[in-house]
Structure 1
Amino acid sequence: MSHFSHQKDLQNIIKRYLAGTATAEEIKFIEKYYAFLGEGENEIGETHDINNLEQETFQAIQAKIASQQKSKVLSLYKFASAAAIFILLCGGLYFLLDKNSSKSPSNSLAKIENLDILPGSDKATLTLANGSKVILDDQTPENISDKHGVKISKTKDGQLVYTVVNNENLPNSTAFNTIQTPKGGQYQVILPDGTKVWLNAASSLNYPEVFAGKKRSVTLTGEAYFEVAKDKDKPFHVLTQNQNVEVLGTHFNINGYLDDHTIKTTLLEGAVKVSNLKSTKKLKPGEQAISGISENALIKVTSQVDTDDEIAWKNGLFQFNDTDLKIILNQLERWYDIKIDYSSIPDKRYNGMVPRKSKLSEVLKMLEKTGNIKFELLENRSLKVIPKNN
């Protein structure tokens, strides 16, 4: 999936859409926003001036939609809304909308002072088999280790890469490494078999330097997205809290944060088998397995899942679809490394999308847009949620 959070990528998506060469995924991305706008109020078309270049973009989009949907009568307001969305996309900005709020005046935004906490970044700690630790950040040298016939290196764009360079020196008993991201961190690992793993904030992955034996096994806490290298003779296993996910080669996301008290496995491609002591379920693409974290938790499978929402974090986005405010705040807490006072969280649900590159203040201002909630950041990076009277 494309990394829609980058400005250049967004501009290219618009160009391909207008040229009729966009992929099905890119068209879905654009149309999802268009349908999203029609569900509730928005003030974007009213509050953003459109310069000449943006006006040309608007007119091109208008003509494109009109030619593709001749049977639909679309108002000028919706065209303006669609144009505004693309203008925001070109700038790398998104908006957040409270599903249950009524329209509020533009001056209803609560003032947020000194909330300029920067977003998370590519950083992690690598613990080698001998117990030594390597801090992974921009200052880490490219070559980290070259032992046991395996080279461990770091790329400039935040990837940890394992390469088997000498099969004769591979150990009989595999040495295990652990990569751990802090709050406010993320990292990507390419394992010795070519499997790619994206690790979300406050997560860890324990894995062997070389996959010996008849299966490949790793242990995950937190959340990760996997693109497993195919090997029919060596199944890939991801172990989480009292649960095992078995695959041969596939793309899937596992969300197993212990403080969420649930484990969610979402399949995008291929097939996986999710099991614990209580039950075993097989997933098809577009399905999600949900269970508690206890060893006897019942595993439920649903097809009522938006896979884009589940892997938005991997593509640099916060993406919400009728999402409870507490779940949103959980994500912000991990990504911005803050502490949140959950004692007075109002019952609110949101739709929308925000780049994970945004400063905390930008995200909170979007949440405050409803006029019914405000935030106060204390000196110890604690965030207080203050419901407002309607």
Structure 2
Amino acid sequence: MTPFNHQKELQKIIQRYVAGTATAEEILFVEKYYQYLDKNANVLDGQNADELKEMAEANFMAIKSKIDLPQRKKIVPLYKYISAAAVLLLMSGIAFVFLNKSKPVIKSEIAVNKKLDVLPGTDKAILTLADGSKVVLDEHTSTDISDKDGLKISRTEDGQLVYTILDQGDLKTKSTVSYNTIQTPKGGQYQVILPDGTKVWLNAASSLKYPEVFTGNERRVELTGEAYFEVAKNKAKPFHVKNHNQDVEVLGTHFNINSYMDDNTIKTTLLEGSVRVSNGKSVRILKPGEQSVADGNGIIRLAAEVDTDDETAWKNGLFQFNNANLKSILSQLERWYDINIDYSSVPDKKYNGMVPRKAKLSEVLKMLEKTGNIRFEIVEGRNLKVLPEK
């Protein structure tokens, strides 16, 4: 059976489309592709997965080859007007995911439990200040959090915590270094702009400890969980991220660290610049597009293949699965939707797909049900069961 060679290209186009960075040509292509799938759903309904993959590949190239349209001055993306199910279809990038049109191969347990559906996570976190006081960061928090000793801490409306140095003189008179910690719960995410201008995106169930002001000849922070960093360049002050027993040293670069330890590994993925990853036993220098994987024995190796889009999709508002095993997918869902999962019946299967993190839990589970012989059930108390295969 011919492999779906163009799925990755389609996913990248759709990713730019949803992020608002697609070109006019790409926006027109996505709209035409969706319209084709929508128009021909009755024809595609009932086909098996392999046949639909082949049809998707053929139609993808047929539509793309015909697009030669002029730029439009103002384009309103189609996804603003179509249903959630249709958006999920677009994001999946696979023609055989028809949530609201195809006849299910198996009975959907999710549809039976709609009243128990779970909403996605939001921008929320808890900030612990140097004096031990805690500030809940959400849409109800005041935008002005602290303004003293030459340092202002504020919250923006779009989920950012911002540190602004107002008076270097006042800061230099402080005799000790004061630390703050920002922690996201399950079902939460947040962004931080540190005093040096470094930007940090925190994923769910993560925390970052950092000084209110970087002093001395280096900048050091401590991470648990997952975060994406855009480090402000300063050759005189290298930036260090400590997570577990690993140290990542940079001068100015973009990278992602996943240290959830679900599979007892720490993954560091470099997108731009250069980083040095070490833990006392191993050292690796990464180049853009490379990923280091540190295991429980302290050995750091380079991943054979890595797709940086997959590793950073969460930061761009997406779940993106490319040959991902089900357990790792469910771990992501558990953190983002703040649910409890019984892993005792999880089969050893791999999945492909792309879903917006703004989707309800049932929409993500429907995609998994439709792309594989598997069933789920949402039960009371935010619990998710993986049901035995039939």
TM-score, length of structure 2 as denominator length: 0.78
When residues 274 and 120 of structure 1 are mapped into structure 2, their CA distance, relative to the original with a 3 A threshold, is same
Tell me, yes or no, if structure 1 residue 277 matches structure 2 residue 280. yes
Tell me, yes or no, if structure 1 residue 382 matches structure 2 residue 383. yes
Q: Which residue of 1 aligns with 2:24?
A: 15
Q: Distance in 2 between matches of 1:260 and 1:147?
A: 43
Please show how residues 64-75 of structure 1 align to structure 2 within 5 Å: 65-66=65-66
Q: Which residue of 2 aligns with 1:174?
A: 177
Match among 95, 105, 108 for residue 106 of structure 2: 108
Paired residue secondary structure (1:108)? coil
1:210-261 superposed Cα distances (whole Å, 9 cap, x missing partner): 0001100000000000000000000000000100000000000000013331
1:18/1:60 contact within 8 Å kept: no
Residue identity opposite 1:282 in structure 2: I
1:7/1:90 contact within 8 Å kept: no
Shift of 1:369: 0.8
Q: Which residue of 1 aligns with 2:360?
A: 359
Aligned length: 338
Shift of 1:95: 2.7
1:339-377 superposed Cα distances (whole Å, 9 cap, x missing partner): 000001011100110000000011111111146211112
When residues 283 and 60 of structure 1 are mapped into structure 2, their CA distance, relative to the original with a 3 A threshold, is closer
Match among 235, 242, 245 for residue 242 of structure 1: 245
Q: Distance in 1 between matches of 2:150 and 2:263?
A: 39
Q: Which residue of 1 aligns with 2:198?
A: 195
Tell me, yes or no, if structure 1 residue 47 matches structure 2 residue 41. yes
When residues 8 and 292 of structure 1 are mapped into structure 2, their CA distance, relative to the original with a 3 A threshold, is closer
Structure 2: runs of 5+ lacking an equivalent: 1-11, 44-58, 69-77, 97-101
When residues 252 and 175 of structure 1 are mapped into structure 2, their CA distance, relative to the original with a 3 A threshold, is same
Shift of 1:92: 3.7
Please show how residues 102-181 of structure 1 align to structure 2 within 5 Å: 106-112=104-110, 113-114=113-114, 115-170=116-171, 171-181=174-184
Q: Distance in 1 between matches of 2:16 and 2:119?
A: 17
When residues 263 and 18 of structure 1 are mapped into structure 2, their CA distance, relative to the original with a 3 A threshold, is closer
Residue identity opposite 1:336 in structure 2: Y
Runs of 4+ in 1 over 4 A off after TM superposition: 2-10, 59-64, 87-91, 96-99
CA RMSD of aligned residues (A): 3.4
Q: Which residue of 1 aligns with 2:220?
A: 217
Match among 267, 270, 291 for residue 270 of structure 2: 267
Q: Distance in 2 between matches of 1:4 and 1:178?
A: 35
Shift of 1:61: 9.1
When residues 353 and 214 of structure 1 are mapped into structure 2, their CA distance, relative to the original with a 3 A threshold, is same
1:77-133 superposed Cα distances (whole Å, 9 cap, x missing partner): xxxxxx99xx8999643238699xxxx954535141134210000000000000000
Residue identity opposite 1:342 in structure 2: Y
Shift of 1:15: 2.1
Q: Distance in 2 between matches of 1:377 and 1:9?
A: 30
Q: Distance in 2 between matches of 1:319 and 1:195?
A: 26
2:218/2:238 contact within 8 Å kept: yes
Shift of 1:18: 6.4
Shift of 1:382: 1.2
Paired residue secondary structure (1:333)? helix
Q: Distance in 2 between matches of 1:230 and 1:238?
A: 15
Structure 1: runs of 5+ lacking an equivalent: 20-26, 38-42, 50-58, 69-82
Q: Distance in 2 between matches of 1:4 and 1:187?
A: 24
